[in-house]
Amino acid sequence: MSKTYGNVFQVFLGPKKTVVLVGYKTVKEALVNHAEEFGDRDIVPSFRIMNDKHGIIFSNGENWKEMRRFALSNLRDLGMGKRGSEEKIIEEIQYLKGEFDKFEGKAFDTTQPVNYAVSNIISSIVYGSRFEYTDPQFTEMVDRANENVRVGGSVS
């Protein structure tokens, strides 16, 4: 559609008017140079009901800025951006590599192992420990989170 209408155009998704931005430069221009006009995202109703616009993912404007500052401050306190967090990421990548090696060069879906690795990195940084990829409680928790996103639709 961008070949016909350009890098910025609107479409109707049902009754909702939606602005479509195409390409990295266009999106960056909109979000950096025109943040006030483009910063307020519509939230899928199921996410709005569950979260009442709270949290860094579901907020906009000043509320988002405040949540972002809070999150970055806490992540720094937990060691994000420091040598310790880098070591935890490298350690988890070794576990992920081990999972990939089990497929012996055959094609496979990387989604689940990568989700487990990302969850373990967060767990390791926040709680100081990780889970085995075979831990039933861990896999159920990660799989349910993924299912919630799939059923609820895109965040923004």
pLDDT tens track, the chain, 156 positions: 778 889 889 888 788 888 888 999 998 888 888 877 776 666 666 556 656 656 656 666 777 778 788 888 877 777 766 777 888 899 999 999 999 999 999 999 999 999 999 999 989 988 889 999 999 999 999 999 888 877 766 554
Q: Where are the domains of the chain?
A: 1-39, 43-77, 81-151
The pLDDT value recorded for residue 85 is 81
- Residue 11 burial (C-beta neighbours within 10 Å; 0-12, 13-18, 19+): exposed
Q: Phi and psi at residue 19, in whole multiples of 5°? A: -90, 130
Q: Name the residue type at position 28.
A: K
Q: Is the pTM of this model over 0.75?
A: no
Please name which of 136, 128, 97 lies closest in space to residue 113, comparing C-alpha atoms. Answer: 97
The pLDDT value recorded for residue 58 is 63
List, in order, residues 6 or more apart from 47 with CB less than 8 Å away: 58, 152, 153, 155
